[in-house]
């Protein structure tokens, strides 16, 4: 039975990875400091092969049993989180990734880092292939996240080349689904919370900026396929189905049958104008592509949010 270490395992994506790996018969060690995650995301897990360790991965840490796979997911991930935690975000990308790569080396484990489409910055190439080096503002408010992830990618490649660690890099594009925090400031949870509570739905700018939204189950399948492959180069994992944020806001209002009105607010600094993954590499190397249609994924997510918003204790 393989053992997987999931850093950030009590977060949105990390907790879904824990569920998926347990279903596949893995033992799972979930480490998290609960900075942006929650025990609510893992409290349903009853499998004896699951273990939770509350720790901060920016401090040196050790795992006292053999590990076969590492899913390194820990990092503040939403703009309001990394604006609140700029130094922590840089430290997680640097020390946290260094410590976790060291563990992968010690255990001879396969290592996956959750990188991001933000390494492309405000892209001048569309859609974005992995070969694009990006257009990032290193000193803007988003720089702490974008550069932490770019540094973490460089560190990962150095451990591969110099230390012989078996690594891979997932460049994750916008993902949505149950367990995103209603107040985490990202577009889909914000629109859903506002639409379901009858508040105005806030769209930044004129809403023409685009995103490509991937349902969480598709994303997790892609991450596991990548970590179980022999690929070392970065791979985009996301859904190429691109839409404007205005279209997404309107769709959320329609699906939730909300009476909320749309309001427009100023664009945040350095907000990327377009986002669309080129997933040719994922298709060719992993045989992976998304399967869940947007409406289907949104309906599942709405069901979850309706429950969460009705029970503040569960948030
Ligand atoms: P999340 O905030 O829900 O999860 C991150 C988890 O990491 C949280 O549980 C948090 O408590 C934990 N964490 C943060 N700092 C830590 C530390 N020092 N020690 C231990 N645990 C720590 O975010 P998410 O959306 O699940 O994102 C997970 C990963 O995927 C992140 O690395 C993020 O950058 C990446 N990613 C996510 C998306 C997306 O759309 N969700 C897109 C691109 C990349």
Query: Which residue range is the domain that position 128 belongs to?
Result: 3-314
How far, in Å, is the centroid of ligand 1 from the Cα of 260?
30
Cα–Cα distance for residue pair 54/33, rounded to 1 Å? 5
How far, in Å, is the centroid of ligand 1 from the Cα of 25?
24
Cα–Cα distance for residue pair 179/19, rounded to 1 Å? 13
Query: Is the bond into 212 cis (omega within 30 degrees of 0)?
Result: no
Domain count, the chain: 1
125-144 residue pLDDT tens: 999 999 999 999 999 999 99
How far, in Å, is the centroid of ligand 1 from the Cα of 75?
4
Mean pLDDT of the chain: 96
Distance (Å) of CA 19 to CA 39, 141, 202: 14, 34, 33
Cα–Cα distance for residue pair 105/189, rounded to 1 Å? 37
Q: Pocket of ligand 1, candidates 20, 42, 73, 88: which has the most ligand atoms within 8 Å of its Cβ, to mutate? A: 73
End-to-end CA distance of the chain: 34
Q: Pocket of ligand 1, candidates 5, 18, 34, 37: which has the most ligand atoms within 8 Å of its Cβ, to mutate? A: 37
How far, in Å, is the centroid of ligand 1 from the Cα of 74?
4
Cα–Cα distance for residue pair 11/201, rounded to 1 Å? 25
53-75 residue pLDDT tens: 999 999 999 999 999 999 999 99
104-127 residue pLDDT tens: 999 999 999 999 999 999 999 999
**Average pLDDT of the segment spanning 63-92:** 97
Cα–Cα distance for residue pair 25/28, rounded to 1 Å? 9
Give the pocket of ligand 1 (CB within 6 Å): 7-8, 10-14, 31-37, 56-58, 73-77, 92, 96, 114, 116, 172, 174-175
CATH number at residue 85: 3.40.50.720
User: With contact defined as beta carbons under 8 Å apart, do 277 and 240 qualify?
Assistant: yes
**Ligand 1 atom nearest 58 alpha carbon:** 18
In DSSP terms, which residues pair with 202 in a beta bridge? 263
Cα–Cα distance for residue pair 315/310, rounded to 1 Å? 9
Residue positions annotated with a catalytic role: 145
């Amino acid at each position: 039975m393989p053992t997987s270490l999931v850093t950030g395992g009590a977060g949105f994506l990390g907790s879904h990875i824990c569920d998926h790996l347990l279903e596949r018969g893995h033992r799972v060690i979930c480490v998290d400091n609960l900075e942006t995650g929650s025990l609510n995301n893992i409290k349903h897990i009853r499998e004896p092969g699951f273990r939770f360790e509350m720790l901060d991965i920016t401090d040196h840490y050790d795992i006292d049993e053999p590990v076969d796979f590492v899913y390194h997911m820990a990092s503040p991930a939403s703009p309001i989180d990394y604006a609140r935690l700029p130094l922590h975000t840089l430290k997680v990308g640097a020390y946290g990734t260094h410590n976790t790569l060291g563990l992968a080396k010690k255990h001879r484990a396969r290592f996956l880092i959750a990188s991001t489409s933000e390494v492309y910055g405000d892209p001048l190439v569309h859609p974005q292939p992995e070969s694009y080096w990006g257009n990032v503002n290193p000193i803007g408010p988003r720089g702490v996240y974008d550069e932490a992830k770019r540094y973490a990618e460089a560190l990962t490649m150095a451990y591969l080349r110099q230390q012989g660690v078996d690594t891979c890099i997932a460049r994750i594009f916008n993902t949505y689904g149950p367990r995103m925090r209603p107040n985490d400031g990202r577009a889909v949870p914000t629109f859903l919370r506002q639409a379901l509570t009858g508040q105005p739905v806030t769209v930044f700018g004129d809403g023409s900026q685009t995103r490509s939204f991937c349902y969480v189950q598709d994303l997790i399948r892609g991450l596991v396929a990548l970590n179980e492959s022999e690929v070392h180069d970065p791979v985009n994992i996301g859904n190429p189905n691109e839409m404007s944020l205005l279209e997404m806001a309107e769709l959320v209002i329609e699906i939730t049958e909300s009476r909320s009105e749309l309001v427009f607010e100023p664009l945040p600094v350095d907000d990327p104008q377009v986002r669309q993954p080129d997933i040719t590499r994922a298709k060719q190397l992993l045989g992976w592509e998304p399967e869940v249609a947007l409406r289907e994924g949104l309906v599942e997510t709405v069901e979850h949010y309706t429950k969460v918003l009705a029970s503040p204790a569960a948030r």
